[in-house]
Amino acid sequence: MSPLPHWLALHSAGAGGNYILDATNLLEFLPTSQNCFLIFISIWRAVGYMVTGKSSIPLLALHP
């Protein structure tokens, strides 16, 4: 039994905890002329979390 699906599930569940802090740190050091970059990175990160979560569910079903 491979532990990879379980680690993927834990990662996708726990990765959302840093979401607010990363955006706040980026906004603090980002020039005001590039604020639209924060919107792009927020959307892109949410897509990445969704792909990780959706890919871990079938892997968990394979390894009970």
Q: What is the pLDDT of residues 47-57, one digit of tens each?
A: 888 888 888 88
The confidence score (pLDDT) of residue 34 equals: 78
Q: What is the pLDDT of residues 11-45, one digit of tens each?
A: 766 666 666 666 677 777 777 787 787 778 778 88
The confidence score (pLDDT) of residue 23 equals: 67
Residue span of the structural domain in which 37 resides: 4-62
pTM of this prediction exceeds 0.85? no
The confidence score (pLDDT) of residue 12 equals: 66
Q: Which two tokens stand for residue 18?
A: 């840093």
The confidence score (pLDDT) of residue 19 equals: 62
Q: Say how far apart CA 13 and CA 53 lie, in whole Å.
A: 8
Structural domain count of the chain: 1
